[in-house]
Chain A
Amino acid sequence: MKLRRRLGIGVRRQRQFVRAMEVGLVAMLVGGVLLRDTGMIVNAALALAVVQLPAVLQRDYGLVVDAGLTLWLTTAVTLHAVGTLAVGEWSLYEAVWWYDHLTHALSASIVAAAGYTTARVFDVHYDAVRLPAPFMFAFILVFTIAAGVLWEVLEFLLARASTALGGSAVLVQYGLGDTMLDLVFNTVGAVLVATFGTAHLASVVEAVSDRLGGRSTDP
């Protein structure tokens, strides 16, 4: 099931959206430099780096990432970056209660997609691996929840390292309840991918498997 067909957005329009968001991120980076705002610079730079990923994969590995996937990825990181923009005390993350949940579900959906692709590549590439749909559904959920836990660990270690160095945290942990809700909304993103997203990823799976060469037997 291709979301694009349901939404009726053409490939050209999707590329335009991606360009527009990239321009926005560049503007945020420039703004960060002008305002000497470290958080703004880091968040914009990281977002820009992630957004380049499909192009890099295509150039270096010949992986064709379709326009819909690129739009999905770009939207996720842009929404996060924009959310961290603070005007005085005001930011989308602070002002809109569901904004954090939205970005978490979206970025979790990217992680879920990566988990699905990994498992599918195993499935396609190795004769000894067979992962039927019900197992795949469960694996996507487990993979995404695990990535959420790993993310919390990284946030924690980063915060520790940055306070130890006397700086302020680039990524803020807002407290226990928030952490729990993050984990729950990560799972929501994973369920969406497990249910609707897998068709989108067929071309990526095929491309990665092709890169790895023909089917191999158990190592």
Chain B
Amino acid sequence: MDATPVGETLRDARVNAALSWTLLASVAAAAAASAVADPVWAGLAAVVALLGAVPAVVRRSLRAMLPFELLALAALPVLARAFDLPGPSQATAYFAVAAVALVVAVELDAFTAVEMNVPFALLFVVVSTLAAAGVWAVARYAVDVLLGTTFLLPPRPATEAALAAVEEALMVEFLLSTVVGVAAGGVFELYFRRVARPRDRLPGVERP
């Protein structure tokens, strides 16, 4: 792959690590700041921050970080939400979920016996995004039924119309997660083809 100037800069582990740590610190701060007001997004931010720190912990080196633009894909939606930037929040959320799935794929490949090529990683990302929508829906529903909360369900006693509206909204959410998951897969495919193979930059990982 021919190295563009940008790619060259980023291939330097120190510059990359500095950028990545800055992103992680911002995400962690966003998680802490919104923990009470916006617990769901704070949770997502915390997941991004923890996953981002995994390479450094596993390699016991501050320089071992994911490619910074990969982290940025996961971090930007979370930060945008924290700073109240405009944008369709549900679509942003599922894009963040897809980016998290990609980070998981890269880390599984780098640090465990699991090995993936790009096509399988993309399949993994799309499938994980859809599954996240399903699990998230069931989790909200279960908590609502058991504890009487209103994460998904309308306030009780619920009218037929209110329930139908919730179901419709959920179907639209599922549809959205499908569209965003597939679109994110497309973006990542471009990223892998044009920008970099994350393995090339993770210190201590043998190149194939």
B residues 161-190 touching A (CB-CB < 8 Å)? 163, 166-167, 170-171, 174-175, 177-178
Distance A115 CA – B124 CA, assembled complex (angstroms) = 11
Q: Among A5-13, A150-158, A204-212, which stretch is in contact with chain B?
A: A150-158
Q: Which of A143, A157, A173, A184 contacts B167 (CB 8 A)?
A: A173
B138 and A153 within 8 A (CB): no
B175 and A180 within 8 A (CB): no
Say yes or no: A131-B114 contact (C-beta < 8 A), given A145-B134, A173-B167.
yes
Q: Which of B117, B129, B130, B178 contacts A218 (CB 8 A)?
A: B117
Residues of B within 8 A of A173 (CB): 167
Q: Which of A118, A141, A149, A183 contacts B178 (CB 8 A)?
A: A149
Would you call A175 an interface residue if the criterion is a C-beta within 8 Å of the partner chain's C-beta atoms? Answer: yes
Say yes or no: A135-B177 contact (C-beta < 8 A), given A130-B115, A153-B171.
no
Would you call A88 an interface residue if the criterion is a C-beta within 8 Å of the partner chain's C-beta atoms? Answer: no
Residues of A within 8 A of B128 (CB): 142, 146
How many of chain A's residues have a CB under 8 angstroms from any CB in B? 35
A residues 109-137 touching B (CB-CB < 8 Å)? 115, 118-119, 122, 126, 128-132, 135
Tell me the nearest residue of chain B to A180, going by C-beta.
B141
A129 and B120 within 8 A (CB): yes
Residues of A within 8 A of B174 (CB): 149, 152-153, 156
Distance A8 CA – B170 CA, assembled complex (angstroms) = 45
A218 and B137 within 8 A (CB): no
Residue pairs across A and B with CB atoms within 8 Å: the count is 94
B residues 137-173 touching A (CB-CB < 8 Å)? 137-138, 141-142, 153, 163, 166-167, 170-171
List the interface of chain B (C-beta within 8 A of A): 108, 112-120, 123-124, 126-131, 133-135, 137-138, 141-142, 153, 163, 166-167, 170-171, 174-175, 177-178, 208
B117 and A129 within 8 A (CB): yes
Residues of B within 8 A of A177 (CB): 141
Q: For chain B, what secondary structure do more than half of its interface residues adopt (helix, strand, loop), or is it mixed? A: helix
Would you call A176 an interface residue if the criterion is a C-beta within 8 Å of the partner chain's C-beta atoms? Answer: yes
Q: For chain A, what secondary structure do more than half of its interface residues adopt (helix, strand, loop), or is it mixed? A: helix
Residues of B within 8 A of A132 (CB): 113-114
Residues of B within 8 A of A130 (CB): 113-115
Tell me the nearest residue of chain A to B160, going by C-beta.
A175
A153 and B175 within 8 A (CB): yes
Residues of A within 8 A of B135 (CB): 145
Would you call A179 an interface residue if the criterion is a C-beta within 8 Å of the partner chain's C-beta atoms? Answer: yes
Can you list 24 A-B contacts (CB < 8 A)? Answer: A115-B127, A118-B123, A122-B120, A122-B123, A128-B115, A128-B117, A130-B113, A132-B113, A139-B127, A142-B131, A146-B126, A149-B131, A150-B130, A152-B171, A153-B171, A153-B174, A153-B175, A156-B174, A176-B141, A176-B166, A177-B141, A179-B170, A218-B117, A218-B118
Tell me the nearest residue of chain A to B140, going by C-beta.
A180
Q: Which of B120, B124, B177 contacts A149 (CB 8 A)?
A: B177
Q: Which 6 A-B pairs have the closest CB atoms?
A: A146-B130, A130-B115, A145-B131, A156-B171, A128-B117, A149-B134
Would you call A214 an interface residue if the criterion is a C-beta within 8 Å of the partner chain's C-beta atoms? Answer: no
